[in-house]
Amino acid sequence: VESNGSGRDLTLDILFELENNDPLQSEIAFPSVSQPDMQAALTRLASRAMLEYDPSESEHVVLTGEGRQIADEGSHEYKVWEAVKKSGRLSLKDPALATPSAKLGQGNAFKLKWVQKDGDSLVVCSGMDEVKDATRETLKYVDEFHTMPDPKQLKDYVKRKLVSTQKIITYQVRKGPRWAKEIPIEVTDLTSEMLEDGSWKTASFKDYNFNALGAQQNSGALHPLNKVREEFRKIFFNWDFIEMPTGRFVDTGFWNFDALFVPQQHPARDMQDTFYVSDPAEAGPPGSDPDADQALNTMEAQSQLFSTGEAAAAIPKLDYEQYYKNVRAVHQDGAFGSIGYRYPYTDSETTRLVLRTHTTAVSTYCLHRLAANPRPARYFSIDRVFRNETVDATHLAEFHQIEGVIADYGLTLGGLQAFLGKFFLQLGISNLRFKPAYNPYTEPSMEVFGFHEGLNKWVEIGNSGMFRPEMLLAMGLPEDLRVYGFGLSLERPTMIKYAVSNIRELLGHKVDLSFIESNAAVRLDKD
């Protein structure tokens, strides 16, 4: 409610005034109402077409401090004349004449021939027993009407710093097409009561505002990472991949490291790179978690149905004990064609709990599950992994890995390259390069580089390789079944797609929620 300061609603005051004063001039009818208040009240009434108004910019003349003093007390020359008249004759040395304004007034009073010198005193000129203080009169007029009709005089007064000018917006206000003395009650809903008592006939209905923005819906929004993840899942599903059960962020050293032949003294196992869980610090040996087996069996049943078109064969009990022995043998003594690392294997390392550092831990138990029923299969996963890294613009202590695993007879490295070419083409990356790399679980291994058109340079986009025979044979997979795998981060393509240069804008506590809410549905551009 706009208030004019008297506590009454300004809109009502305007309507009341306009009744008999049409058109009215806002600054005259409401001199003490501020321009923003007036504007707000007029906007409100005009939106109901109760009145119309035109703003105009005009110049307002107002008194300065000195001008105000003169309007109240009289001009400097008047004060001098008054002092001389009162005393009959006033010594030039009188302290009343010593102030700067009195000196100014004295000069003016001479010019106006109000007073004159007589020896060393001032006396009133003859016939000047009454004088008219025109300056004061003019300033009083300005104070009342905020205008000065004579432009020359205005200029003079401004120069003398008695008045100044201000631009103000005033309004000419007229009755509008839906003029009324009071704001009518506007009805928003037609009720059964109104129909019954007939009041609908005279009621004033509020117009629909088709321009009003709808109320903000606090709906959920998908995170960009989730959207890009969905795109990748679709690509995998289109190619008959089965999703691996990645629900366990915490896994044992056995699956995360030992089964992948990361040596037990490997620096990656250090506290530096790996988050170890302290409570509980340890789990049982491989195969001791029935929930994990359950998840694997579900995936396996799905996968068999998919690859053979038949419901899964009876699920054999997995032999984790033999597998564990095989892995241990490869590390310590060499086996399955590998000469091994030949160091004393520590069993307690295998049961330590870690936040998994890669999803290849999951691929490993999926491949072990496959060994119970060996056949060509394609698995993928996209989920969280954790590395104890220094956090910066491109690294967080956790990220998402996209991982793919393909098992088939007679696979070759060229086949892996061809597959990766096809895969990255889906992301709009058509130009790949492979660089020999090292993973303890794949041989050969290749880093994958893609040419980024936007950045105009080669960027590392993934890691890949053919799983080593001693890894697959230790699981019980047949000799001629080969498996290749690859991994990449979900964050990197997402950052490129959404033009995010700092990963902390994408993930973590610094994420701006409005960015999450407003970003477009994802497109993996084909061009």
Q: Which residues bind ligand PHE (CB under 6 A)?
A: 358, 360, 403, 439, 442, 463-465, 485-487
The three-state (H, E, C) secondary structure of 34-51, written as one string: CHHHHHHHHHHHHHCCCE
Minimum CB–partner distance for residue 224 and ligand PHE (Å): 22
Minimum CB–partner distance for residue 463 and ligand PHE (Å): 4
Which residues does residue 82 pair with via DSSP β-bridges, in sequence order? none
**In terms of CB distance, is 326 or 364 closer to ligand PHE?**
364
Whether the CB-CB separation of 269 and 276 falls below 8 Å is answered with no
**In terms of CB distance, is 246 or 464 closer to ligand PHE?**
464
**In terms of CB distance, is 48 or 358 closer to ligand PHE?**
358
User: Nearest-CB residue to ligand PHE?
Assistant: 487
Minimum CB–partner distance for residue 357 and ligand PHE (Å): 7
Give the DSSP letter of residue 409.
E
Minimum CB–partner distance for residue 250 and ligand PHE (Å): 17
Locus of tokens 């997995």: 318
Q: Is the peptide bond before 493 cis (omega within 30 degrees of 0)?
A: no
Whether the CB-CB separation of 384 and 367 falls below 8 Å is answered with no
Minimum CB–partner distance for residue 368 and ligand PHE (Å): 15
Residue count (the chain): 527
**In terms of CB distance, is 403 or 491 closer to ligand PHE?**
403
**In terms of CB distance, is 203 or 268 closer to ligand PHE?**
268
Minimum CB–partner distance for residue 220 and ligand PHE (Å): 31
The three-state (H, E, C) secondary structure of 377-393, written as one string: EEEEEEEEEECCCCCEC
Minimum CB–partner distance for residue 385 and ligand PHE (Å): 7
Phi-psi domain of 410 (left: phi exceeds 0; alpha: psi -120 through 50; beta: other): left
E strand map for 6-154: 24-25, 51-63, 89-91, 115-118, 121-124
Angle at 155 between CA 152 and CA 158, to 5 degrees: 150
Q: What strands lie across the sheet with 481-489, from one edge to the other?
A: 242-243, 377-386, 398-409, 481-489, 457-467, 442-452, 432-439
Minimum CB–partner distance for residue 223 and ligand PHE (Å): 22
Whether the CB-CB separation of 329 and 335 falls below 8 Å is answered with yes
H helix intervals, 452-524:
469-475, 491-497, 513-518
**In terms of CB distance, is 229 or 358 closer to ligand PHE?**
358
Minimum CB–partner distance for residue 394 and ligand PHE (Å): 15
**In terms of CB distance, is 9 or 273 closer to ligand PHE?**
273
**In terms of CB distance, is 287 or 487 closer to ligand PHE?**
487
**In terms of CB distance, is 27 or 403 closer to ligand PHE?**
403
Locus of tokens 């089965």: 242
Whether the CB-CB separation of 151 and 163 falls below 8 Å is answered with no
Minimum CB–partner distance for residue 437 and ligand PHE (Å): 9
**In terms of CB distance, is 2 or 403 closer to ligand PHE?**
403
